[in-house]
Structure 1
Amino acid sequence: MSGRPSADAALPWPVPSARFMVARLSHLVALGFGAGLARVAPGTVGTLWGWAAFLLVDRLAAPGDLGWAVIVAAGLLAGWWAATATARRTGIDDPGFVVIDEIVAIWLVLWIAAPATLLGQALCFALFRLFDAAKPGPVAWADRVFKGPGWRGGWGIMFDDLVAAFCTLLVVALARFLWGGVA
């Protein structure tokens, strides 16, 4: 097998294999340690994986605000590098199987929206997926603004998910203001 994912006529992007994912550290990170291998809705699977990782780290390590700031910043930098390298390697500007952008974005949402119950986190998850998939207004703009090869394109892969995260947080803040909390 070559260093590129194989084509599948039923999907709008090539399907990466586990072999492709483990061939390079950048692929492993970009594919969310396997979440991007999902044949159906890899962005949703990546977001679920990110939520699960958030719960695990938050419960076991209790990193606090400074710790989460470092985790999100490191994830953003690692994601930018991994998305850039994987997009370059595959020749696809924004591969659907790159899910590190969803993972880091949901970490940002859950960290800033904290404290939230499991129901509140589920609402954050649903809102984020809605903004990320539907790409309304500012998210669509963010999806277009940094296109192309190289570091600019890698940043673009991350950027639209960050804008979707901020849109989610805006709705959460508005709901908390109007109704005194989100679950």
Structure 2
Amino acid sequence: MKIIPQSSWIWARPERALAFGFGSGLSIKAPGTVGTLYAWAIYLVLQALLDGHVIAWVIGLGAVAGIWICGKVGEELGVPDHGGIVWDEFIAFWLILFMVMPTDIWGQLGAFLLFRFFDAVKPGPIKSIDRYFKTWQPSVERLDQPKKIPSWVVRGFGVMIDDIAAAVATLFMIAIASRLG
């Protein structure tokens, strides 16, 4: 059964609110871009309120929790990588900002544009990662074999990993640009 997410549905459970980026994933147009904009704003607030070590822990724990958040909410929706699930954009963009800050608004905007490019276009290995997890099918379990990893874990990891790959590509391009500039 596929669920069409509504605001009341996402706010009914904390993991749904996180998965849908505090409502940003409900955007009719470009939910990934809107989610990344929310992530940017929230990161600036986090940076003003928290120490860098705490932010690193938030990102790390958010990435691990993201496997559960994205996997379980995708399972509830009946669509493993639903377009409204933007927690993966949050974590990936927070990682980028954590690595490039302090930088001015232009550096942040450049990071945003690069990340959105890599996340939307998915060149090379990013597309391969995305395709692998979107087409992944659980194997049939036999009673004489040990229990396999639950499919929501694999799917949740798949939702998160292509955005992490886009973040790595973004950081790589920023590093090259800084060396050449």
- TM band (smaller chain): 0.7 to 0.9
Which runs of 4 or more aligned residues in structure 1 lie more than 3 Å from their structure 2 counterparts after TM superposition?
A: none
Aligned pairs for 1:5-44 within 5 A: 5=4, 16-44=5-33
Distance (Å, rounded) in 2 between the aligned partners of 1:57 and 1:26? 20
Amino acid at match of 1:102: E
* TM-superposed deviation, 1:26: 1.7
Alignment of 1:168 onto 2:178: no
> Counterpart of 2:103?
116
More moved, 86-95 vs 166-175: 86-95
Q: Structure 1 regions of 5+ residues with no counterpart?
A: 6-15
Amino acid at match of 1:29: L
Residue of structure 2 aligned with 1:106, choices 93, 99, 121: 93
Deviation string, structure 1 residues 6-53 (Cα, Å, up to 9, x no partner) = xxxxxxxxxx21111022222111001111111110000000000001
TM-aligned CA distance change 1:3 to 1:144, over 3 Å: closer
Task: After TM superposition, list the pairs within 5 Å mapping 1:13-162 onto structure 2.
Answer: 16-61=5-50, 63-64=51-52, 66-147=53-134, 148=136, 149-162=151-164
Cα deviations by residue, 1:109-168 (Å, 9 ceiling, x for unpaired): 010112211110000000000000000002101212333441101110000000000000
Residue ranges of structure 2 left out of the alignment (5+ in a row): 137-150
> Does the 8 Å CA contact 1:3/1:20 hold for their aligned counterparts?
no
Question: How big is the alpha-carbon RMSD for the aligned residues of Structure 1 and Structure 2?
Answer: 1.5
1:10 — aligned with what?
none
Question: Residue 4 of structure 1 contacts residue 20 of structure 1 at CA under 8 Å; is this kept in 2?
Answer: no
Aligned to 2:180: 178
Contact 2:2/2:78 (8 A) holds in 1: no
Match of 1:23, SS?
coil
1:156 is aligned with what amino acid? Answer: G
Residues 20-29 or 142-151, more deviating: 142-151
In structure 2, distance between residues paired with 1:93 and 1:57: 29
Q: Which has the larger radius of gyration?
A: 2
Following TM superposition, by how much is the alpha carbon of 1:3 offset from its aligned partner in structure 2, in angstroms? 8.2
TM-score normalised by length of structure 1: 0.86
Q: Is the 8 A contact 1:106 1:165 kept in 2?
A: yes
TM-score (normalizing by structure 2) = 0.87
Tell me if the contact between 2:115 and 2:167 (Cα under 8 Å) persists in the aligned partners. yes
CA distance in structure 2 between the aligned counterparts of 1:26 and 1:146, rounded to whole angstroms? 21
